[in-house]
Amino acid sequence: MRNLIIWIALAAGLIVLPNVLSFSQQEVLVFLTINILLVASYRLLTLTGEWSLGHVVIMGVGAYASALLTKTTGLPVPLGILAGGMVAALIALALSYPLFRMKGFYFLIGSFAAGEIIRLLWKRFRDPFGGTKGLKGIDPMPDFSVGFYNFDFFEPTSYFYFAAIVVGVCLWILWRIEKSPVGLTFHAVHWQDKLAQASGVNLRAYRTLAFVIASGFAGISGALLAHYIGTINPNSFDVEVMVFVLTWAIVGGTSTFYGPILGCVVLTILNEVVLRELGLEQTRPLIYGLILILSILFMPNGLESIVQKFTRRKEAGLMRPEEAK
């Protein structure tokens, strides 16, 4: 009952939210929604202990796939978005064969290399990827009406509602996976792969599974982005964006589901409200780098650890010290 009220309040808040924002803030809100899916999908991969530097490129795979499929085959945009996710998942499956011969640091570097190769292919092949200029005039979401509300996708508010529903469903699925025996197995693979394997867990299969699912959802986020901004190019998915994703995840903390989302929201607000107001937008990468270093030094468990401190104290009355770690 209490949960239901919280969810209704959250939904109401999200419906009202864009209406109290300026146009440019509404646009930021759409990007934020898409980025939340991006960073939440990244967390699923980190559950198995692997950190990829190719996640944003995989997002781009979804973006390119959906943009091209809708343009060339006339696939409706919503199905294109789904297809974008599936293509990203399939590419990830193919990449997993070379990549999961590696672990840890080597996987990190391997994933970066794989991502750069994909970006090179986009740049090299004018047909169909549009070369360095990328794709323009990507099909927008067609407007439609649900009786009480008209979706007009020239309005960021409408796209926000649409994206929020898609992202909401995706987050629900990610959450269900994490809280399931599959999620437990991901944890097991991460923390003690020897024991997991001795319990019959196929490590390679589970690492691949996490990578493929995470990539699928990253692809959906990319497709959502493509049909919103209407133009994408290889630099939309370069390593700078990847650094942002890493920063959101690390600053937020990756030991809870909400940690990376929290990091994404807080840093986006910081970026928009503070940096833009102060006219420091150009220095964004610098400031992000600084925040990343400071948070690793002084807040190694992320923003989530601060939230946990308060919620745990309320729940248990008394907090065991090892839980504060």
Partner 1 sequence: MTSLLQVKDLTMRFGGLTAVDGLNFKVEKGTIHGLIGPNGAGKTTTFNMISGFYTPSDGAVLLRGEDISGLQMHEVARRGVVRTFQHSTLFAELTVLENALVGTHMPFRPNIFAAIFGWDRDDRDGADARARDALRFFGLGDLMNEHAGDLSHGHQRALGMAVAYASHPDIILLDEPFTGMNPEETKHMMGLMKRLCSDGITILLVEHDMQAIMGLCDNITCMSFGKFLAEGGPAEIRNHPAVIEAYLGGARHVA
> Which spans of this chain sit near partner 1 (rule: CB under 8 A)?
173, 176-177, 180-182, 184-185, 187-188, 191-192, 194-203, 209, 213, 322
Q: Which helix (H) or strand (E) holds 246?
A: helix 239-252
Q: Which is nearer to partner 1, 315 or 322 (CB)?
A: 322
Q: Which is nearer to partner 1, 12 or 195 (CB)?
A: 195
Closest distance between partner 1 and the C-beta of residue 138, in Å?
30
Closest distance between partner 1 and the C-beta of residue 166, in Å?
16
HSE of 226, CA atoms in CB hemisphere, 13 A: 36
Residues 6+ apart with CB under 8 A from 185: 196, 201, 206
Q: Which is nearer to partner 1, 102 or 173 (CB)?
A: 173
Closest distance between partner 1 and the C-beta of residue 82, in Å?
15
Q: Which is nearer to partner 1, 195 or 296 (CB)?
A: 195
Q: Which is nearer to partner 1, 180 or 283 (CB)?
A: 180
Closest distance between partner 1 and the C-beta of residue 193, in Å?
10
Q: Which is nearer to partner 1, 150 or 192 (CB)?
A: 192
Task: List b or e across 263-272, with b for residues whose CB sees 16 or more CB atoms inside 10 angstroms.
Answer: bbbebbeebb
Cross-strand partners of 232: 135
Radius of gyration of the chain (CA): 20
Residue 131, classified by CB atoms within 10 Å of its CB into exposed (0-12), middle (13-18) or buried (19+), is middle
Cross-strand partners of 306: none
Q: Which of 23, 35, 67 is nearest to 156 (CA)?
A: 23
Q: Is 232 helix (H, G, I), strand (E, B) or coil?
A: strand
